[in-house]
């Protein structure tokens, strides 16, 4: 028992020792865990602090980079704003300068037109003064004539009274003698009254002649204008396709309005396939518009800014061509020392037509014809050719100035220092003034020859033949006409009538009827001369 008891006492000690050892180990483990936790926490704190400082540095760097980028972007925006402001100021300044130039150009053109109108008014006033002086002179002359007539009438009345007294004193006169004397006096009085009536009729005819002539010319112009106006005022530009018409018109019509404003020519876009019609009376502007439109169509860029550039370029090209053409013409004809403005006016005639005939080519023909005729007559050939070349110079500007082309051309020639004979030849080639030298007569003759040459004035062959045939047909429809011949390229018709059927009186009536019939049924440029020929032939054979 004792032994057993001893063993029981030793067991708890061992257990206590093992428990104590286990506790110590547990405490050591816990201490180790705590120490590890403390070390881990410390390391975590250190590492987290390091990460925090690194994030703070990265944030500072990113903030600095963002700040620098913002500064750069702000500087760039400021530069762009300054550049845009400068561009807006430059654009506004250029627009203002452009508008100022346009206003100045418009003012200059208005001043020029006003100066021209003042000059024309002064000329008209001078003509009116001359006419008033002429009228006053004629009134004085008429007063003198009336006074003389009154004196003669008084003398006639006195003589008549004396004759009556003489007859009264002579009582032995027979009735037949008194009757014969009375008849003679009445016959003289009737002749005097008839002479007065004839004079009055002639005066009335002279007064009405000018008015009637103007009416005839106006009717002729009205009849012929429609057939020739399209050739003189219209140009056609061909297009590659009909879609190009829409591009020419532009959005809300901006392109076509810009082109019309820049050229001064009307653009007609209708149902005509692949074509645009240019309409205007100024041939130079029409040529500029044609060149500009062709350039725009071939280039493809059609907008208002480009249109202005192309029009300016085309205007410069046309001006250059006008100058070159004028210089070439003076060189060909042999006209030296011509004023530069005269050379330009000659070049402008290249784009001017008259009844379809090119005026520059017509002027060259007239110059050559004047030279040939002057050489045959031993006149001044150079002067005659110069007058012939310049005779239609007024047609270069007759759509810009008032008056006839002959009067305008004479004024221009006088302005640029041409010879007095050349000025007179220009002014008198349509009989507006009297010719003072042989060269003026040659110019008028050469002008008529060049215009009358068959084919000189543009006319289709079919229309030409048809007009000649119609002329002869109208004449042949009258009774008594044997044969009719249309000559001088249809400007004259000669009609041979049968002598037995048509008397002289009927021939005079027939020529008026034929002229009236031609005016009603034909359209033609200028005038047609109608000549009726009636001849008597007496044949006898000697045997």
In 98-249, beta strands by DSSP E: 234-238
Residue 110, both tokens: 């208005």
Per-residue pLDDT tens for 124-182? 878 887 777 777 777 777 787 888 888 888 887 787 777 767 766 665 555 556 667 67
Rounded to 10°, the helix 420-428/405-415 angle is 170
Q: Is the pLDDT of residue 460 over 60?
A: no
Q: Give the pLDDT confidence of 423-453 residue by residue, as tens digits.
A: 898 888 887 888 888 888 888 888 887 776 6
> At 206, is the pLDDT very low, low, confident or very high (cuts 50, 70, 90)?
low
Query: In this model, does residue 394 exceed pLDDT 80?
Result: yes
Q: Are 389 and 402 in contact (CB under 8 A)?
A: no
Nearest Cα neighbor of 417 from 318, 342, 306 is 342
**Cα(500)–Cα(487) distance, integer angstroms:** 26
Q: What is the 3-state secondary structure (H, E, C) of 262-300?
A: HHCCEEECCCCCCEEEEECCCHHHHHHHHHHHHHHHHHC
Q: Per DSSP, what are the bridge partners of residue 234?
A: 279
| 210 pLDDT tier (thresholds 50, 70, 90) | low
**pLDDT band at residue 220 using 50, 70 and 90 as cut-offs:** very low
Region 59-75: mean pLDDT is: 82
Buried b / exposed e over 405-436, threshold 16 CB at 10 Å, is bbbbbbbbbeeeebeebbbbbbbbbeeebebe
Gap between the Cα atoms of 367 and 446, Å rounded: 8
- Look at residue 112 and tell me whether its pLDDT is greater than 50: yes
Task: Calculate what percentage of the chain has a pLDDT beyond 90.
Answer: 1
- Report CA-CA distances (Å) from 179 to 173, 186, 188: 10, 10, 14
What pLDDT is attached to residue 461? Answer: 53
Q: Around Cβ 170, how many Cβ atoms within 10 Å?
A: 10
Please say if the pLDDT value at position 31 is more than 80: no
Q: Is the pLDDT of residue 356 over 70?
A: no
Query: What average pLDDT score do residues 404-419 get?
Result: 88
- Work out the average pLDDT over 366-373: 88
Angle at 139 between CA 138 and CA 142, to 5 degrees: 85
In this structure, the number of other CB atoms found within 10 A of the CB of residue 471 comes to: 25
Question: What is each CA distance from 520 to 223, 474, 492, 513, 516, in whole angstroms?
Answer: 9, 11, 17, 11, 6
**Percent share of the chain, pLDDT over 70:** 82
Higher pLDDT, 407 or 171: 407
Tokens 């002008």 — which residue? Answer: 447
Q: Residue 36 corresponds to which tokens in the numbers above?
A: 């590890």
Residue 230 predicted with pLDDT over 70: no
User: Which of 75-89, 138-152, 165-179, 362-376 is the least confident region?
Assistant: 165-179
Entry pTM = 0.45
Could you tell me if 364 and 334 are in contact, meaning their C-beta atoms sit under 8 angstroms apart? no
Q: How far is CA 373 from CA 28, 434, 441, in A?
A: 149, 20, 11
Q: Residue 318 CB: number of other CB atoms within 10 A?
A: 21
């Amino acid at each position: 028992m004792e032994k057993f008891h001893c063993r029981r006492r030793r067991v708890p000690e061992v257990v206590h020792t093992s428990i104590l050892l286990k506790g110590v180990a547990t405490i050591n483990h816990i201490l180790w865990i705590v120490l590890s936790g403390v070390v881990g926490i410390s390391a975590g704190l250190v590492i987290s602090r390091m990460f925090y400082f690194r994030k703070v540095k990265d944030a500072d760097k990113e903030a600095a980079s963002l700040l620098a980028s913002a500064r750069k972007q702000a500087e760039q925006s400021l530069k762009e704003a300054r550049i845009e402001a400068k561009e807006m100021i430059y654009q506004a300044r250029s627009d203002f300068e452009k508008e100022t130039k346009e206003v100045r150009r418009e003012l200059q053109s208005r001043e020029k037109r006003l100066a021209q109108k003042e000059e024309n008014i002064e000329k008209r006033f001078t003509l009116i003064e001359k006419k008033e002086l002429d009228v006053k002179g004629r009134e004085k002359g008429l007063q003198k004539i009336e006074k003389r007539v009154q004196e003669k009438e008084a003398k006639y009345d006195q003589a008549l009274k004396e004759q009556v007294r003489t007859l009264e004193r002579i009582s032995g006169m027979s009735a037949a003698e008194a009757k014969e004397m009375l008849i003679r006096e009445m016959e003289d009085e009737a002749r005097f009254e008839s002479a007065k009536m004839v004079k009055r009729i002639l005066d009335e005819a002279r007064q009405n002649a000018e008015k009637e002539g103007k009416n005839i010319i106006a009717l002729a112009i009205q009849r012929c204008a429609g057939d020739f106006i399209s050739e003189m005022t219209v140009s056609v530009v061909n297009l590659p396709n009909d879609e190009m018409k829409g591009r020419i018109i532009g959005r809300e019509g901006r392109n076509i309005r810009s082109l019309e404003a820049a050229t001064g020519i009307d653009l007609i876009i209708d149902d005509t396939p692949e074509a645009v019609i240019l309409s205007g009376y100024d041939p130079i502007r029409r040529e500029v518009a044609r060149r500009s439109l062709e350039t725009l169509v071939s280039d493809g860029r059609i907008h208002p800014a480009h249109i202005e550039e192309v029009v300016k370029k085309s205007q410069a090209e046309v001006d250059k061509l006008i100058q070159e053409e004028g210089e070439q013409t003076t060189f060909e004809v042999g006209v030296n020392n011509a004023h530069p403005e005269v050379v330009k006016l000659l070049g402008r005639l290249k784009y001017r037509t008259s009844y379809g005939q090119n005026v520059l080519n017509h002027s060259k023909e007239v110059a050559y014809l004047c030279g040939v005729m002057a050489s045959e007559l031993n006149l001044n050939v150079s002067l005659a050719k110069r007058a012939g070349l310049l005779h239609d110079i007024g047609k270069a500007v007759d759509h810009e100035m008032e008056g006839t082309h002959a009067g305008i051309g004479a004024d221009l020639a006088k302005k640029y220092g041409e010879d007095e004979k050349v000025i007179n030849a220009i002014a008198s080639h349509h009989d507006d003034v009297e010719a003072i030298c042989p060269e003026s007569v040659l110019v008028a003759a050469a002008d008529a020859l060049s215009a009358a040459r068959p084919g000189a004035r543009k006319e289709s062959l079919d229309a030409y033949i048809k007009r000649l045939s119609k002329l002869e047909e109208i004449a042949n429809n009258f009774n008594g006409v044997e044969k009719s011949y249309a000559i001088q390229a249809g400007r004259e018709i000669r009609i041979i009538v049968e002598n037995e059927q048509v008397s002289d009186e009927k021939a005079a009536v027939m020529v008026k009827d034929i002229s009236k019939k031609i005016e009603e049924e034909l359209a033609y440029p200028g005038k047609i001369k109608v000549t009726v020929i009636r001849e008597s032939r007496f044949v006898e054979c000697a045997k």
